[in-house]
């Protein structure tokens, strides 16, 4: 009788262990009945976040992780090229984005400017066929002047295997296939539009095709949290950093 009673208990333990093995990210739910792919393939809208971009020279920011979310294009639009080190600190909550621009000079002095953005949204779409789309929209105005920025990045995605720092399928590799940007400047009755598009050729490990890694600290049925911890160096010198987090909520069908 005792042996017979052990079988249901062992079966329950095995089922719980199997379900809990789906937990990959630091903040993942302990048990999930859906695979990571099933949870990720959805439309995700930015809900909250705080992140900082820093560049260590007076050049425009080029292609790196920040450009995946349209942040570099946005940063290049607003920056005034003053300090030797330039940072933009973003705080997004309740559908509003607050920005702190900070210029730091070699003598240690700093200058800060604070303001709010009228509208800001990031939407990520992960499809079942391993394609993705990331849309970014920003609108900000000052007196009679209004500027709007759109950016759309498309490509393919895949889960990465585990390594010494991350579990299996904890990270997602994104390979860009195309980029589209649109800027609209309005002043009074005058408006001007600039558009640009780029197609990236090649496949696999191709230096002409930007590739980025997303660290998923939480992947639940309705929540997705990304840790931003990116640094780019050139000639052994710090060039660009993007740190912080973004939290998304699943869009209802």
Model pTM?
0.82
Q: By mean pLDDT, which of 13-17, 43-47, 150-154, 233-237 is the weakest?
A: 13-17
pLDDT of residue 18: 42
Q: Which of 11-20, 91-100, 121-130, 200-209 has the highest mean pLDDT?
A: 121-130
Query: Running DSSP on this structure, what letter comes out for residue 35?
Result: -
Q: Residue range 5-33: average pLDDT? A: 48
Q: Which of 15-19, 28-32, 144-148, 199-203 has the weakest average pLDDT?
A: 15-19
Token code pair at residue 57: 């020279």
Per-residue pLDDT, averaged over 131-143, amounts to: 92
Q: How far apart are CA 28 and CA 9, in angstroms?
A: 26
Any idea which of 4-8, 43-47, 150-154 has the lowest mean pLDDT? 4-8
Q: How confident is the model at residue 81 (pLDDT cuts 50, 70, 90)?
A: low
pLDDT for 236:
60
- Band of residue 152 on the pLDDT scale cut at 50, 70, 90: very high
Q: Residue 11: what pLDDT?
A: 42
Whether the per-residue pLDDT at 49 is higher than 90: the answer is yes
CA separation for the pair 249, 163 (Å, rounded)? 28
CB contact at 8 A, 51 and 120: no
pLDDT at 230 over 50: yes
Domain segments of the chain as ranges: 32-250
The pLDDT assigned to 94 comes to: 84
Calculate mean pLDDT across residues 198-222. Answer: 81
Rounded Cα distance between 215 and 159, Å, is: 10
Average pLDDT taken over every residue of the chain:
82
Question: Where are the extended beta strands (E) located within the chain?
Answer: 43-55, 85-93, 96-104, 110-117, 119-126, 131-142, 145-159, 171-187, 190-199, 211-219, 223-234, 237-250
Closest-CA residue to 90 (of 104, 78, 108, 106): 78
What confidence category does residue 247 fall into, taking pLDDT thresholds of 50, 70 and 90? very high
Tell the burial category of 166 from Cβ atoms under 10 Å away from its Cβ (0-12, 13-18, 19+).
middle
Q: Where is average pLDDT lowest: 18-27, 75-84, 93-102?
A: 18-27
- Model confidence at 176: pLDDT above 50: yes
């Amino acid at each position: 009788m005792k042996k017979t009673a052990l079988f249901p208990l062992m079966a329950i333990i095995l089922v719980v262990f199997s379900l809990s093995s789906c937990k990959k990210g630091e903040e993942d739910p302990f048990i999930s009945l859906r695979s990571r792919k099933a949870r990720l393939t959805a439309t995700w809208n930015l809900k909250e976040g705080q992140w900082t971009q820093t560049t260590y020279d007076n050049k425009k920011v080029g292609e790196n992780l920040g450009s995946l979310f349209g942040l570099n294009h946005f940063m290049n639009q607003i920056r005034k090229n003053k300090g030797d080190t330039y940072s933009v600190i973003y705080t997004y909550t309740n559908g509003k984005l607050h920005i702190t621009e900070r210029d730091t000079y070699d003598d240690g002095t700093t200058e800060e400017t604070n303001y709010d953005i009228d509208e800001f949204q990031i939407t990520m779409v992960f499809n079942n066929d391993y394609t993705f789309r990331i849309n970014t929209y920003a609108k900000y105005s000052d007196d009679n002047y209004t500027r709007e920025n759109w950016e759309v990045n498309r490509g393919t995605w895949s889960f990465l295997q585990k390594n010494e720092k991350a579990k299996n399928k904890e990270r997602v590799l994104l390979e860009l296939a195309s980029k589209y940007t649109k800027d609209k400047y309005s002043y009074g009755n005058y408006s001007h539009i600039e558009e640009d598009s780029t197609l990236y050729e090649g496949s696999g490990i191709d230096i002409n095709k930007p590739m980025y890694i997303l660290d998923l600290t939480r992947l639940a049925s309705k929540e997705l949290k990304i840790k931003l911890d990116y640094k780019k160096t050139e000639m052994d010198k710090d060039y660009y950093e993007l740190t912080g987090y973004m939290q998304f909520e699943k869009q209802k069908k």
